[in-house]
Amino acid sequence: MMNKIFILFFILFFSFSCIKKTNKESLIYDGDKGFKYWLIDNDRTSDSGSHFFTYFDKNGKWLGFYINAKGEFVENKSPEDVISVNTWSLSNDSTIILGWYPNIIVKISKDTMITYNDRLKETTVYITSPDSLIPKEYQRIQ
């Protein structure tokens, strides 16, 4: 009898942990659309007067963009990056891997995601980007 209870408990625990991870994934990329732009809401971005965005899709693509001084929407590519890894994944229920680097998910909801990068000792606040800030040609990236 104890073995049956243990097995049932294990199956239920495993099922709920998978459901929770799937829900986080769909919050990151908007399960209905299959992709999502997040506007980065940090002191370092607002001081420069720029808007920085991240793009996440359900296939694991992760890209950075910004609006430059001319008002153009530009992909953010660092010149010192020799190898750029534009992927994201959840390694567990509370860690998102962006490129090579793990970031702890402090909070996530439909409109807000807060992450902490232990290597950089930096907290990043993401808010859902209004569609009006994203040019039509970037609405869906393949």
* pLDDT-derived band at 18, boundaries 50, 70, 90: very low
pLDDT at 9 over 90: no
**Percent of the chain topping pLDDT 70:** 73
The residues with which 88 forms a beta bridge, in sequence order, are 98
In the β-sheet with 95-98, what is the strand arrangement from edge to edge? 73-75, 62-67, 51-57, 35-40, 122-128, 112-117, 101-108, 95-98, 88-92
* Structural domains of the chain in order of their starting residue, each with its CATH number: 2-135 (2.40.128.50)
**Percent of the chain topping pLDDT 90:** 42
**Cα–Cα distance between 44 and 46 in angstroms, integer?**
6
Task: For residue 22, give every residue at least 6 positions away whose Cβ sits within 8 Å of its Cβ, in sequence order, or none.
Answer: none
Mean pLDDT of 121-142: 86
Q: How much is the pLDDT for 16?
A: 46
Token pair 């902490």 is found at 116
How crowded is the C-beta side of 64, counted as CA atoms within 13 Å?
14
* pLDDT-derived band at 19, boundaries 50, 70, 90: very low
**Cα–Cα distance between 94 and 117 in angstroms, integer?**
12
Beta carbons within 10 angstroms of residue 106's beta carbon? 13
